[in-house]
Amino acid sequence: MNPYGGRARRHWQEHLPSRYQQISDPEAFFSDLGEQIEQQVQQLAAALAGPDPLEENYLEKVGRLNMARLRAEEQVLREMLPEPENDPESRTDPDAPPGNNSPTR
């Protein structure tokens, strides 16, 4: 399992516990998901980085490629990892001030 698969697995365990429990073969599921994420990140990073400008030096290129990869990871993970489950027991009042975790009525 690649790092993206491990990251996805931890996300599901923490934020989607009931859905995680329903996966019959987590190792295969997250290995496959990790590969899909990695492919999409690579494709998007290449598109975001674009062609090499002629006047670009080595450090500028490294920075441009790193930034493209980080932006691609953020976007692909946001798209491919499901939102956390809504647990009515732990919902908080959206109008409550920060730090007040009283349940919504």
Q: How much is the pLDDT for 94?
A: 44
Q: How much is the pLDDT for 92?
A: 44
Residue 101 has pLDDT above 80, yes or no: no
Q: 7-17 b/e with 16+ CB inside 10 Å = b? A: bbbebbeeebe
CB atoms within 10 A of CB 76: 21
Q: 23-50 b/e with 16+ CB inside 10 Å = b? A: eeeeeebbbebbeebbebbeebbeebbe
Instruction: Give the residue-averaged pLDDT of 25-40.
Output: 98
Token digits for 96?
């409550």
φ/ψ (deg, to 5) at 56: -75, 130
Per residue in 42-85, pLDDT tens? Answer: 999 999 999 999 999 999 999 999 999 999 999 999 999 999 88
Is 92 or 67 the better-scoring residue by pLDDT?
A: 67
Cα(41)–Cα(57) distance, integer angstroms = 24
